[in-house]
Amino acid sequence: MIEGVIFDLDGVLLDSEHVWDEVREELARERGGRWHDRAQREMMGMSSLEWSRYMHDEIGLPDSPEEISAEVVRRLEVLYREQLPAMPGAREAVERLAARWPLALASSSNRELIDLALELMGIADRFHATVSSEEVARGKPAPDVYLEAARRLSVDPARAAAVEDSHNGIRAAKAAGMRAIAIPNRRFPPGDDALAEADLVLETLAGLTAEAVEPH
């Protein structure tokens, strides 16, 4: 029996993975970094502590990881306030599931961006708990952020469903022992091995119904 549902943010409720990519690439080129085609995929799912260190160590930005993270967040906040890249049907999907289960959010985004996005979407009060991977030891594909979200919901991870879009996110949810519902990111699709681990694969949020989360 499912007792709680945990959403990812970027790629599930927000069409924002490419926005992150553009902001980080722009910053890297401005600051003399060595951007490469693997950077986005390698950073996907990392916590802010992990990707900002990657930008410093691998991409070669001279700024400290803390400065890199703060600047990326500042730029994203500006973009979100100008036009939040909400996924079609995101608010409706959250409302549907909130009518039946307590909800949490387990995201690799920084705390400031999680709070801002949910506020701008008008769904902040639908979530009983939100966790940023900067608040746990390891980012996705480690299960830490999902386990912490379940703990804050007071739900056994084995009785939770996770809604994910990415390779590392699906792996994180399964590593936490959860039912994993995948809505594959079209821009950065998960690998076949991760999709094979998902319990259910949906095309869009329109298919995310109570019956999909917990089939009778």
Q: Calculate what percentage of the chain has a pLDDT beyond 70.
A: 100
192 in the same domain as 123: yes
Q: Calculate what percentage of the chain has a pLDDT beyond 90.
A: 93
Comparing C-alpha atoms, which of 114, 108, 106, 151 is closest to residue 131? 106
Confidence band of 85 (pLDDT split at 50, 70, 90):
very high
133 in the same domain as 71: no
Q: Which of 82, 101, 128 is the last residue of a domain?
A: 82
Q: Considering the chain, what is the average pLDDT of its residues? A: 96
Cis link prior to 141 (omega < 30° from 0)?
Answer: yes
- For the domain that residue 56 is a member of, what is the CATH number? 1.10.150.240
CA distance 49 to 208: 31
141 in the same domain as 93: yes
pLDDT at site 98: 98
116 in the same domain as 63: no
192 in the same domain as 127: yes
Number of residues that make up the chain:
216
Q: Express each pLDDT in 68-83 by its tens digit.
A: 999 999 999 999 999 9
The answer on pLDDT for 149 being more than 90 is yes
pLDDT at site 158: 98
**Whole-structure pTM value:** 0.94
- For the domain that residue 194 is a member of, what is the CATH number? 3.40.50.1000
Confidence band of 40 (pLDDT split at 50, 70, 90):
confident
Q: Which of 59, 82, 105 is the last residue of a domain?
A: 82
Q: Express each pLDDT in 162-186 by its tens digit.
A: 999 999 999 999 999 999 999 999 8
CA distance 11 to 151: 23
Q: Express each pLDDT in 97-143 by its tens digit.
A: 999 999 999 999 999 999 999 999 999 999 999 999 999 999 999 99
Cis link prior to 88 (omega < 30° from 0)?
Answer: no
Question: For residues 124 and 95, is the Cβ–Cβ distance under 8 A?
Answer: no
Q: Average pLDDT for residues 50-64, to the nearest whole number?
A: 97
191 in the same domain as 118: yes
CA distance 100 to 30: 47
pLDDT at site 77: 98
CA distance 126 to 91: 10
Q: Average pLDDT for residues 145-159, to the nearest whole number?
A: 98
pLDDT at site 216: 79
123 in the same domain as 58: no
Confidence band of 44 (pLDDT split at 50, 70, 90):
confident
pLDDT at site 55: 97
49 vs 96 pLDDT, higher one: 96
CA distance 133 to 7: 13
98 in the same domain as 195: yes
Q: Which of 56, 82, 108 is the last residue of a domain?
A: 82
152 in the same domain as 116: yes
Question: For residues 44 and 190, is the Cβ–Cβ distance under 8 A?
Answer: no
202 in the same domain as 99: yes
64 lies in which domain range? 17-82
100 in the same domain as 52: no
Our CA angle for 38, 44, 46, nearest 5°, is: 120
74 in the same domain as 96: no
Q: What is the total count of domains within the chain?
A: 2
